[in-house]
Structure 1
Amino acid sequence: MNIVITGSLGNIGKPLTQLLVANGHQVTVISSKPERIEAIRQAGAIPAIGSIQDADFLAQTFTGADAVYLMEAWEGIGSIYDQAIDFLAEFKKIAHHYVQAVLQAGVSRLVHLSSVGAHSEQGTGSLLVHHTVENILRTLPENVAIKFMRPVGFFSNIYRWLPMIQAKGAIIQSYGGDQKEPWVSPYDIAATIAQEMEKPFNGRTVQYLASDEVSPNEIARTLGKSIGNPELRWEVIPPDTLLNQMLSAGINEWIANGLVAMQQAQQNGSLYHDFYLNKPTLGKVKLADFADEFAAVYKNL
């Protein structure tokens, strides 16, 4: 098949591209960075340099594709420290550009990377953007089949806590404890999407993605052991305290409020209500596997 990938060679895009190329597909990878051209070619794919904010560029790149993988990256919109960015509005723009490009190119099969929490427009904090984007994509004609993939929290996002772990010897959030929650590895996401690309596309489907179920305290213990710091703990602070810390650090107000709201949904379990009604088979990568990877990164800092 001729498959177009948005999201460049990121945590999901790189292994997804490698899997699809290995399976014999022609893969075009969209990136906004010309410096990625050589890496894309080395992965066996065709580079397409341009912006997902450019509907005409997208339409041209999508033309002739048998299937397209769509995603929206927070980093591609701008810095979370930029107070002027309306992130929800920017996600809407990207979704509308996708719709325009799909219609113009005549694409009939889409795989969209959404998120846990996309099932609801309330109580999910900043994950509201994914609910919004899904609904915009659902305005496409019924002959456009869409597979909405909803991963849970990424293990790889834990790397954002490295400075905190180094400076404080703790993971500090506004939720925690021994209640298990699902996590996912980008490698399992890529493997599942590669498989779904080769299966029939019918209507609109939703599939959740997860690799393991572990509690915050388990994460702290496992990561602490892996880096030689058995005293590493997961510390819970009041939501208002976390919010004030983020605002004082200059984080966009909407992002800060959204993160706190999302963590409260994690704590009370409401974020995972639809996930557990439609629980998937867990992937191969477990917390222990990620801990080995994390330890290697930590020890090379």
Structure 2
Amino acid sequence: MKIIVTGSLGHISSLLAIKLLSMGQSVTLISSKQEKAKDIEALGASAAIGSVEDRQFLASTFAGADVVYCMIPPNFSAVDQGAYYERIAHSYAEAIRVAGVKRVVHLSSYGAHLPAGTGIIAGSYKAEQILNAISGISLTHIRPAYFYYNLLSFIPMIKSLGYIGSLYGEEDLLAMAAPDDIATAIAAEITQIEGMNKVRYVASDERTCTEIASILGQAIGKPDLKWHISPEEQVLQALRYQGISEELAQSLVELARATHSGMLREDFDKQNVQPGKVKLEAFAETFSSIYQGS
């Protein structure tokens, strides 16, 4: 099959490309950076260099493809995250229609079943609706849980304050997903190894924030590491101090609030999600390596 993969050599897309190539598939990897072309070709994939906002470029690249994997690259410089997600999703939708692609797999997020109240995740809801409106295609939304590597953002806090603090924490239950498990699920959907799903959730492990802090703490030599729930204004001030725009800061706070309340995972909890292979203890080794090297 001819498969188009968006996302350049990111956490998930690079692993996905490798998995598909190992199955003997023909893979074209889209990147916005010309300097990535050699690394892409070194994997055995073809490189298509251009912007996912360029609908003509996408339509040309998608032409003749059996399957297209679409993901919306993070762009925290975008003032209006919702509008950014809609813009990229419309770009994908038009290119899919023009190119006549019949099979599409889209990277979404858990929480994307809700139109509002989930901060930046509401962008994934909007993207799903835009893609759902394309007629004549077979479409799967992949909804991964909280990415393991998001935990890396707490490293500066641990080093400076000696604890993890956020609007969620303590006994809040967090479902987490590893890039490799996400890529495995996407590859299975693309090649229909396990049948076709309209929505597929992906999670690797599930622990309380207290348990997560303990496991990460053991890995970095801080066995008493705690994960506290911080006041909302304190979190907002920290985000503002980092130079994050007020609109994005408020959106991130709303997402954290939805995580704490459990609203984000309401639909996830209704599904029989089979956990992946990469457990938290395995990620803790990566966490420790980055912590020690930072």
Q: Give the TM-score, by structure 2 length.
A: 0.96
Q: 237, 254, 259: which is aligned to 1:244?
A: 237
Q: Paired residue for 1:228, among 210, 214, 221?
A: 221
Alignment partner of 2:243: what SS? coil
Matched, 1:178 2:171: yes
How far apart in 2 are the matches of 1:264 and 1:299? 30
The partner residue of 2:151 within 158, 178, 202 is 158
Partners of 2:198 and 2:157 in 1: CA distance: 39
Q: Is the 8 A contact 2:146 2:174 kept in 1?
A: no
Q: Decide whether aligned partners of structure 1 residues 138 and 236 sit closer, same or farther in structure 2, where only a CA change above 3 A counts.
A: same
Q: Secondary structure, in 3 states, of the residue corresponding to 1:148?
A: strand
Q: What SS class does the counterpart of residue 123 from structure 2 fall into?
A: helix
Pick from 131, 136, 156 the counterpart of residue 137 of structure 1: 131
The correspondence for 2:183, drawn from 182, 186, 190, is 190
Match of 1:265 in 2: 258
Aligned-residue offset at 1:29 = 0.2
Distance 2:242 2:42 in 1: 39
Q: Secondary structure at the match of 2:222?
A: coil
Do 2:188 and 2:194's aligned partners in 1 also have CA atoms closer than 8 Å? no
**Could you list the per-position Cα deviations for residues 192-242 of structure 1 after superposition, in whole angstroms to 9, with x for gaps in the alignment?**
111111118999711111010111111111111101112322122111221
Question: Take 2:167 and 2:93, find their aligned partners in 1: how far apart are those partners?
Answer: 37
Q: Following TM superposition, by how much is the alpha carbon of 1:161 offset from its aligned partner in structure 2, in angstroms?
A: 1.8
Q: How does 1:17-166 map to 2 (within 5 A)?
A: 17-74=17-74, 77-79=75-77, 85-141=79-135, 143-166=136-159
Distance of 1:99 and 1:281 partners within structure 2: 30
Identity percentage over the alignment?
40
Q: Which runs of 4+ in 1 moved over 4 A?
A: 200-204
**Contact preservation (8 Å) 1:208, 1:279:** no
Q: Is this contact kept in 2: 1:60–1:105, CA < 8 A?
A: yes
Are the aligned partners of 1:41 and 1:47 in contact in 2 as well (CA < 8 Å)? yes
Amino acid of the structure 2 residue aligned with 1:41: E
- Residues 137-156 of structure 1 show CA distances to partners (whole Å, capped at 9, x for unaligned) of 11101x21100000010001
With 49-58 and 179-188 compared, the bigger mean Cα shift is at: 179-188
Bigger mean CA deviation after superposition, 115-124 or 182-191: 115-124
Instruction: Indicate whether 1:297 and 2:290 are aligned.
Output: yes
Alpha-carbon distance change, 50 to 69 in structure 1, aligned in 2, over 3 angstroms: same
Question: Which string of whole-angstrom CA distances, capped at 9 and with x for unpartnered residues, describes residues 223-262 of structure 1?
Answer: 1110111232212211122123212432122221111111
Q: Would the aligned equivalents of 2:189 and 2:196 in 1 still touch at CA under 8 Å?
A: no
CA–CA separation in structure 1 for the residues paired with 2:111 and 2:137: 23
Q: Contact 2:204 / 2:275 at 8 angstroms: preserved in 1?
A: yes
* 1:16 corresponds to 2:20: no
1:274 to partner: Cα distance:
0.3
Counterparts of 2:156 and 2:272, CA distance in 1: 33
Query: Over the residues paired in the alignment, what is the CA RMSD in angstroms?
Result: 1.7
Quickly say closer, same or farther: Cα 1:296–1:249, change in 2 above 3 A.
Answer: closer
Task: Judge which range, 225-234 or 132-141, deviates more.
Answer: 225-234
What secondary structure sits across from 1:150 in the alignment?
A: strand
Partner of 2:111, secondary structure, is: coil
Could you tell me which amino acid in structure 1 is paired with residue 207 of structure 2?
Answer: V
Gaps of 5+ in 2: none
Q: Deviations over 1:22-78 (max 9, x none)?
A: 00000000000111111101111001000001000000000011000000021xx35
Q: Is the partner of 1:130 in helix, strand or coil?
A: helix
